[in-house]
Homo-oligomer: A and B are copies of this chain.
Amino acid sequence: MTNDVKEIFGSAGASPAPPAPAALAAKVRTLAPSMTRSMQRVAEAVADDPAGCAALTVTGLAELTGTSEATVVRTARLLGYPGYRDLRLALAGLAAQQQSGRAPAITTDIAVDDPIADVVAKLAYDEQQTLADTAAGLDTVQLAAAVTALAGARRTDVYGVGASGLVAQDLTQKLLRIGLLAHAHSDPHLAVTNAVQLRSGDVAIAITHSGTTGDVIEPLRVAFERGATTVAVTGRPDSPVTQYADHVLTTSTARESELRPAAMSSRTGQLLVVDCLFVGVAQRTYDAAAPALSASYEALAHRHRATRKGP
């Protein structure tokens, strides 16, 4: 009866991600959209004042947020913890970290009449935050799996439209530089047409912040059904796109506003993920990648002018 500490909740399946230590704030923002109203209230309170909430019992937090204990436990579960007890523990850790000289994480939104210097500062801070959150919330197991798949792929297709299309192109450019066969598709029709050609051993990557972009989901689904290894880079780990993804890489969802549309910070997080993929693959295939990189660099040298200005 006393030996019940080690439970096997790997079989539970629902929680492949281990509880996050400091990535909690990021997780809250990422998962908030898929929460119900009451749960959002709880999540907000938690993200707002970790230290305060850590001092509260389930009942206390339920009362504070005007909900019930059940809702609090449900929220804790959604955030990836077995129960409220563990969330509370993580909260205490987070509070301690913040205490010891961490960023206070206060961001005022960008206003219409902000001076340009403030705009620069706020944008920079915001994107830095996005990077930190994305890095903290990235599932390294999934990432490693995606890297392995990419490194051994016969060919790789990357799907993305709009702003995500540029990220897709960025990844493609990088992979091509280290000698991998990669192609970015932003035309939905051509994307599907190409996806049909994929088979086991190939890799398909879908990049969509919302996870609901049909033009991107469709080719991924086709690739998935053809047996290719599929990867989704999205800000919503529970969105439709993940249905057809063998590996899901989550980017942080930062605050957005009128002057700060989604395309901005989501792109930053996506690019970090893309960079991680690239470096990971470059590591695995180093012997081939390194010469390829310098070769591509040298091939472009003659297109650059002398560094110094003329007479």
Judging by beta carbons under 8 Å apart, are A258 and B305 in contact? Answer: no
Q: Does A225 contact B (CB under 8 A)?
A: no
Write the chain B residue with the least CB distance to A161.
B303
Chain B residues with CB below 8 A from A290, complex form: 258
Q: A124-B135, A238-B309, A283-B114 are in contact. Are A303 and B140 (CB under 8 A)?
A: no
| Copies of this chain | 2
CB neighbors of B among A259-310 (8 A): 259-261, 263-264, 267-268, 271-272, 275-276, 279-280, 282-283, 286, 290, 293, 297, 300, 303-310
Chain B residues with CB below 8 A from A309, complex form: 238, 240, 243
Q: A97-B100, A267-B170, A276-B123 are in contact. Are A213 and B304 (CB under 8 A)?
A: yes
Chain B residues with CB below 8 A from A213, complex form: 303-305
Judging by beta carbons under 8 Å apart, are A271 and B272 in contact? Answer: no
Chain B residues with CB below 8 A from A123, complex form: 135, 272, 275-276, 279
Interface size class of A (residues with CB under 8 A): 35 or more
Listed from nearest, the 10 A-B pairs whose CB atoms lie closest are: A93-B96, A124-B135, A212-B304, A92-B92, A89-B92, A128-B128, A212-B305, A166-B166, A92-B93, A117-B140
Q: List 23 A-B contacts (CB under 8 A).
A: A2-B59, A21-B96, A89-B89, A92-B96, A96-B96, A97-B100, A113-B283, A114-B283, A116-B140, A119-B276, A119-B279, A120-B272, A123-B135, A166-B173, A177-B261, A211-B307, A214-B303, A217-B305, A238-B310, A239-B308, A240-B306, A264-B275, A271-B271
